[in-house]
Structure 1
Amino acid sequence: MFSLDDHPQRYELANELHARPSPALKAPGTAVYLAVKRPENAASRDRDADRAHLIDLLDRFGAPHPGPGANHYFGAIGRYHLKWEQHTEFVTYTVFGDGVASRAFDPAAFDVFPDDWLQTAPGKRVTSAHIRIDTMPDTEDEMNEAISKWFVSESVASTWVLERAAMIAGDFRIDPAGHMRFAAFIGKDAGDSRIGRIVQRLCEIETYKSMSMLGLPLARNLQAKLGHLDGELTHLVSAMSRDDEPAEATLDELLQISSELEDLTAATSFRLSATKAYEAIVHQRITSLREARFMDRQTLSEFMMRRYDPAMRTVKSAEKQLTAMARRSMRAGDLLRTRVDVQRSEQNQALLESMNRRADMQLRLQETVEGLSVVAISYYAVSLAGYLAYPLTDVLGISKGMLTAVLTLPVVGLVWLAVRRIRHSIEK
């Protein structure tokens, strides 16, 4: 028997790969989709509030509850089926029903979400979509006529997908009821699981497209602020080259710009990174549909290239501009700090030279005082020696003045030697 212990998260991680399977759907049918995003000022989704909101909806239909801590759910609610998924920034509800209404994209399909329940949602709607799943007509002209009737021809994208297993269409415009519209014409050979994957891809493309577009207004606002800071930074760099202002004052201004750039980086890094990730998912989901052109209409890839990619390039440009300015600010700061260090070194050198000059002056003054001290001490020493030697004048037969003169040179010499010895001992 295999007895090696499992990693504590082995089963959890393995099951995560199968946590969100695509639903099995039949044509004709209808799917209504809702994505609710957390408030902008919230650090993360309140997962307990999301589950409580889901349970409130399930209770209205007498449906069973999800398990504790669940982040996905699939089950019947009355005559419909509900798929619920919880993500990092948003939570999604998809309701599937059989058959299609006689009125295409009838807003009544969203009545499955009660108004009072919607008003208590923990967040704001980021997108909602109405997907009509219909059987494929006998001719392409019939599908083309329906597309022209349901969508804005100027922006509609329609394409064959999955080796012509289905034809999907949508104009990515919000209809009068407040929802996106998509149509899927399903071929007779398409299985239920394939239909479910097609519908799920449409929901994912719309959701991640909407989430990534949240970075566009942020990027535009960021570019406006960066334009102002770029002018200030350019002025400071020019002032550095001309040496118009003291380096310390310029360094203070540069540090202020650097701190503003750091604040902008901290405030925008999550959204800009999320936009990049969502954009990658959008293109990956479109690629997985394996498109083929339907008549002369644009494909999803072409629509995104013309309408969506420019917005994403704006976001990327703002991110690159922010990164480049932060690096410029760092390089300018390094240069300016080097200049400040050089100036301070020059000031320190001048200060040391001044201290050396003062030390020399003090030494000369000390030597002068030392000479005067020798004279003063010698004067008093000669006087004392004279008093001691005066009795010898009668013996030697000399005058007091002569005796004082004889004593002066030896006494001065002795005093000078004594003072010199004392100074050397102090220096040591």
Structure 2
Amino acid sequence: MMQTHTLYERITNEVHARPFQKVQAPLYMVHLAIMLPADQMGKAVDSALDMAARLGIDARTSDSGFFFISSDEMGLRFERHNEFYSLTLYHFGAETEDVLAERWLPLISGDLLPGEMMVGAESLFRSLRDDPLAWCRKYFGKRDFAAEQFGDRQLAASDVMSGGATLWTDFAVREESGLVRVLVEDRALQPFQAGRLLQRICEIETYRHMALLALPVAQRAMPLITDLDKQLSDITHRMTGDHQEQPSEVLQELMTLAARVEELSADTANRFSASDAYFALLDTRLNELRQERIEGLQTITQFMERRLEPARRTCQAAGKRIEHLSKRIARVSELIRSQVDLSIEKQNRDLLEALNGRARRQLRLQAKLESFTIIVVTYYAFDLIERTVRNTVPGDSLRNDVLMGLSFSVPLIAGVLWLYVRQLLKGYDEED
């Protein structure tokens, strides 16, 4: 019988894990992204539920990773991420931001929420009216809405969702609240479209901040990368100069340099990788806005590209420089190791040649001593035969004749012994 995979339900429900909220104008919303280590996320869940209870929202939930709870007046959306969590507060039917100072700001700015706030944005969402310029002047302090400058900051605006809404913001933090203000006017949005738009605005703010966490890291790393690059260049020049150093000494110095580069890579790789991922998400969310330009104003994408692209390039350049520096060190190390291997092979060859020379000298000495060996052996052989003849041959006359013949046979004995010794040394001579 076919069985259901243990992960079937979890995988199937993943596409429904973080749904958009169904909202309508008017609405006031505050979105926060708060940095917190992953092992302390339980505190964030408890704090979010505590905040909901203080706001009169039913705080019962079974999901600690994402939940949206609401009452007739307010709503709270909690979402957990790897290094931060996001909290979004909704005030349904609100025309102004009065609820922020009256009820939300004391909870947000107090000790209720654990962690460090990285992102703070407020959105005023209202239905289409005949006074969009006056609305913008009210919240951005702008007298001449047709001009790009207001104060010392620029305004970004565009028609979004294929003309279904209009969005204005300057991405500037308000002194009174510490939040970035976004104005959204509903022209023809369905409730789920409105929820998607507002969520995308929150995510754009979140991802642009999280992506830029890598910028200070890159700025600190750049001078160190330049210094390490110069050290590697010096080592390379010393290898090819007129007074070359011993490869073993250069290799030891290069290994120290490689360790410093790997330490720098370990300290920055995760941040740079996360930055690339956040920038990719930011690009996706900007594209999903489906913007149309308003004459005289920058679109949200144009505003982001002009100000974020240098930071993105800096982070990418730092990561690539570290990677390229590591590869260059590996190539130089391989070159030095090749020199060391060649030096070792030369030493081994010289040692083998010396051993072969000693063996040849030993064989030549043995050949020189061969004649003395034959003489000695011939003497002992003659002496043994003579003693045997004297003790075994009867009669003086016969014994004398035998000894006389033995004396004349000494060259024959020496010749036989010489042939025998040559036969024994034949194999060694051939190896030589």
Following TM superposition, by how much is the alpha carbon of 1:394 offset from its aligned partner in structure 2, in angstroms? 5.2
* Aligned twin of 1:357: 357
Which region of structure 1 is more displaced relative to structure 2, 393-402 or 166-175? 393-402
Following TM superposition, by how much is the alpha carbon of 1:152 offset from its aligned partner in structure 2, in angstroms? 4.8
Following TM superposition, by how much is the alpha carbon of 1:21 offset from its aligned partner in structure 2, in angstroms? 2.0
Q: Distance in 2 between matches of 1:128 and 1:160?
A: 23
Residues 326-385 of structure 1: CA deviation (Å, up to 9, x unaligned): 222222223222222222222222221111111101111222333322223333444444
Structure 1 residues 334 and 425, CA gap change in structure 2 (3 angstroms): closer
Alignment of 1:8-27 (within 5 A): 8-27=6-25
* TM-score between both structures, scaled by the size of structure 2: 0.84
Following TM superposition, by how much is the alpha carbon of 1:407 offset from its aligned partner in structure 2, in angstroms? 4.9
* Aligned twin of 1:277: 277
Cα RMSD after superposing both structures: 3.3
Alignment of 1:183-222 (within 5 A): 183-222=182-221
Structure 1 residues 77 and 233, CA gap change in structure 2 (3 angstroms): farther
User: Contact 2:33 / 2:118 at 8 angstroms: preserved in 1?
Assistant: yes
Letter in 2 for 1:24: K
Alignment of 1:237-386 (within 5 A): 237-242=236-241, 244-386=244-386
Alignment of 1:95-244 (within 5 A): 95-98=89-92, 99-101=94-96, 106=101, 109-113=104-108, 115-118=110-113, 121=114, 123-146=115-138, 148-149=140-141, 152-177=151-176, 179-242=178-241, 244=244
Residues 143-162 of structure 1: CA deviation (Å, up to 9, x unaligned): 44235417755233222222
User: Contact 1:168 / 1:183 at 8 angstroms: preserved in 2?
Assistant: yes
User: Contact 1:166 / 1:184 at 8 angstroms: preserved in 2?
Assistant: no
* Aligned twin of 1:63: 58
* Aligned twin of 2:415: 413
Q: Distance in 2 between matches of 1:304 and 1:234?
A: 38
Structure 1 residues 114 and 155, CA gap change in structure 2 (3 angstroms): closer
User: Contact 1:137 / 1:143 at 8 angstroms: preserved in 2?
Assistant: no
**Percent identity for Structure 1 against Structure 2:** 27
Following TM superposition, by how much is the alpha carbon of 1:15 offset from its aligned partner in structure 2, in angstroms? 2.1
User: Contact 2:57 / 2:75 at 8 angstroms: preserved in 1?
Assistant: no
Q: Distance in 2 between matches of 1:403 and 1:258?
A: 88
Structure 1 residues 77 and 260, CA gap change in structure 2 (3 angstroms): farther
Following TM superposition, by how much is the alpha carbon of 1:390 offset from its aligned partner in structure 2, in angstroms? 6.1
Which region of structure 1 is more displaced relative to structure 2, 355-364 or 396-405? 396-405
Structure 1 residues 132 and 187, CA gap change in structure 2 (3 angstroms): closer
Q: Distance in 1 between matches of 2:159 and 2:152?
A: 17
Following TM superposition, by how much is the alpha carbon of 1:138 offset from its aligned partner in structure 2, in angstroms? 1.2
Following TM superposition, by how much is the alpha carbon of 1:78 offset from its aligned partner in structure 2, in angstroms? 8.2
Residues 177-214 of structure 1: CA deviation (Å, up to 9, x unaligned): 56332232323543333332222111100101111001
User: Contact 2:68 / 2:77 at 8 angstroms: preserved in 1?
Assistant: yes
User: Contact 1:29 / 1:100 at 8 angstroms: preserved in 2?
Assistant: yes
Structure 1 residues 191 and 388, CA gap change in structure 2 (3 angstroms): closer
Letter in 1 for 2:118: V
Which region of structure 1 is more displaced relative to structure 2, 373-382 or 12-21? 373-382
Structure 1 residues 407 and 334, CA gap change in structure 2 (3 angstroms): same
Following TM superposition, by how much is the alpha carbon of 1:313 offset from its aligned partner in structure 2, in angstroms? 0.8
Q: Distance in 2 between matches of 1:114 and 1:228?
A: 43
Q: Distance in 1 between matches of 2:428 and 2:162?
A: 103
Residues 14-50 of structure 1: CA deviation (Å, up to 9, x unaligned): 32212222223333321111112234xxxx4544444
Q: How many residues align?
A: 418
User: Contact 1:105 / 1:132 at 8 angstroms: preserved in 2?
Assistant: no
Following TM superposition, by how much is the alpha carbon of 1:416 offset from its aligned partner in structure 2, in angstroms? 3.0
Q: Distance in 2 between matches of 1:9 and 1:64?
A: 28
Letter in 2 for 1:198: L
Structure 1 residues 418 and 226, CA gap change in structure 2 (3 angstroms): same
Letter in 2 for 1:320: K
Structure 1 gaps, min length 5: none
Residues 81-140 of structure 1: CA deviation (Å, up to 9, x unaligned): 10111122221110101314476975864234472312xx1x322212222224444144
Which region of structure 1 is more displaced relative to structure 2, 104-113 or 277-286? 104-113
Secondary structure (helix, strand or coil) at the match of 1:66 reads coil
Letter in 2 for 1:16: E
* Aligned twin of 2:146: none
Following TM superposition, by how much is the alpha carbon of 1:285 offset from its aligned partner in structure 2, in angstroms? 1.1
Q: Distance in 2 between matches of 1:251 and 1:293?
A: 59
Q: Distance in 2 between matches of 1:294 and 1:19?
A: 35
The alignment status of 1:83 with 2:77, answered yes or no, reads yes
Structure 1 residues 59 and 365, CA gap change in structure 2 (3 angstroms): farther
